[in-house]
Structure 1
Amino acid sequence: MYPPSSSTGSASPWQTETMAASEDDDLHAEVRHLRARLEELLERAHANEATQRRLQTVELDMLRRYPLVDLLRALILDYPEQLGLQGAALHVCPPQPEVSALGVSGDLPSGVYLAEVVPPEDIHLGTLEAESPDWFPHQASPGSLALLPLHAGGQYLGIYALAGEAGRFQPNQGTAFLQRLAAMVATSLDNAINHARLEEMALSDPLTGLDNRRSLERRLGEAVARSRRQARDLACLLLDIDYFKAINDRHGHPAGDRVLVEVAEALASAVRGGDALARYGGEEFAVLMEVEGAEAAEAAAERMRMAVSTVTSPDGDALTASVGLALLDPAEEGEALVERADAALYQAKAAGRDRVEAAD
């Protein structure tokens, strides 16, 4: 039997309690929803805070990354892992000479590519489309990707492609974090390229384009260590153009400079790919090369001397050169090797020039 209703139309006590209970349930449900929403926001805030900390760590490391090859390796291997990504690729475009040089030497990290690519106008988020370039030739196609155009100093440097799991990068998500990362990558890459360019200038002879004395001295220790490790003979050749001062005195320094350039080109065509050729100073050139015994070293020295004879002086006469040769002794350091080659060069000049003399 139901409780009687009031004749005035007001709710009965039972109805009032039912309505209050319903309102309580709605209130509790709303509180639970708000609490879940708050927890979601807090979790997202903590995740964003952790991401910002990781990004700051990456940024600080980028600023300290030299030489260029170390930065490139970090962009491909270290930073994606620190940022919780599946991987990354760097497409340098247009190819920078300093990066191309790493490809020639075999030091270019896997994941760095030199190619002409069409840059997106802005950061692109989404999936790898069938008609799009293969941004990750060195790894499996990612579930999602982010393409970050790199600009520094008004110059386009290329694309930094990030690989993420499915749903990590979506077209409608915010890009503030990625814009900051792109700016830092571009600035760091530009700085590292400029640093490599300046270092190359410091190690190159501006007239001939060959390595300079400082560069050869840096390579000397490596050559000595490699020679001992591989049990191969290391030869040092010091070559001096005979009577070069007379060319400068008679025809002027511009003519002398042209002769030096031509001699450098002739010597460069006579050395092998693994030999180290440098302008050692003035009209003197140096070569470090691995050989198989004294006879091979003397033959190489004669080849250098003959290469110089293909160059003519401003008077039309064939040039001549004196060459000093030394082979690395088992207990000898690189500096002593060069000193003995220099002493042999002095002997060649004292013996009448246009000859090769080997150190004892």
Structure 2
Amino acid sequence: MLQAVITVFLDSPTADLLRLLAVPVFAWAAYRDVATRRVPNWTWAPLALLALALLGWDAWTAWTASEFAWRRFLVPAAVSAGLVIPIAYLFWRTGGFGGADAKALMVIALLFPVYPVYLLPSGTLPLQATNIRVFSFTVLTNTVLFGLAAPLLLAARNAAAGRVSSVMFVGRPVAVGNIPETHGRLLDGPAGATRRGLDLDALRMYLRWRGIDFETLRSRADALRDPATLPDEPNPPTDGAVSAVPTDDPAASDNPLDGAADGATRDGAAEDSGGDSPEDADAFDDPWGAEAFLTDVDSAYGATAEDLRDGLDVLAAEDTVWVSPGIPFIVPMFVGLVVALTYGDVLFGLFALVGTV
């Protein structure tokens, strides 16, 4: 094993060895994405600078080597920059990717435009290449394949536990008491299962904006449906992260919700005024103050007033709800990168196995 590692470092191209620095960075980003659904923007800057430097290095090496080497470099590099980067941007603009997902794929496109070469005593990695040899596209197709496996694993886990539902391929049941620390999207609505539920980050934004905690929301739901109980001066909503504290508020404590439920409310109304029953909620012009919240914040992860009201109604009444964990795209991307660096292109390997290439 040690001999193989030494061989890789002695005989493999230096530029390709430097590209391996991406592996621990992507491992850390995948961990952060699972734990917090947040990856700092500065994560990608060093890799982007490294990618541009290595891209220039490879271009100069190919240009000075031969016309064949230049063309062998130029075609996959052009496809990587001209196809994979626009794909990442398009998916981000249409909501298919988060910002971190798009930045990660763009970095891959710049850092791995062509297949790297790692020499071992018994052969060369990656094992399975493709005809066009665009390595970033291999990482992308690997990522998609591994991402498609997640719903099957989730459904199998739910079925094994006897949890059968129309959303068992995309969600899992969560005790309502755990919702404040849960990432994902609510899959329950007043009329039953739904694929367009409230993003739980938007829920946390709403609670912080309103100055109440989740227990208060559930225990005083009838009163809080009345928009007259909204605070005169809303609190910073943060970005909805579980651990976020509104740092622009100099009076913020470790828990930004401490004591907030006893604050003043709009029109001088008291939050414990009794409120209306759930069946009378439609009598309000703006139940839960949903419109007021969405008007005041810049973005709430695509939530509409109806999404917010439906989500709050469900969370105020139920003890267990279905939540889509939303597998972070960087996780299968990390797996796809590691597999690409060792095995290579999984999809192309499958095609070769059945004799279609």
Rg bigger for which structure?
A: 1
Name the structure where helix makes up a greater proportion of residues. Answer: 2
TM-score above 0.5, yes or no: no
TM range (shorter): under 0.3
Name the structure where strand makes up a greater proportion of residues. Answer: 1
TM-score by length of structure 1 reads: 0.27
Which gives a bigger RCO, structure 1 or 2 (Cα 8 Å, sep 6+)?
Answer: 2
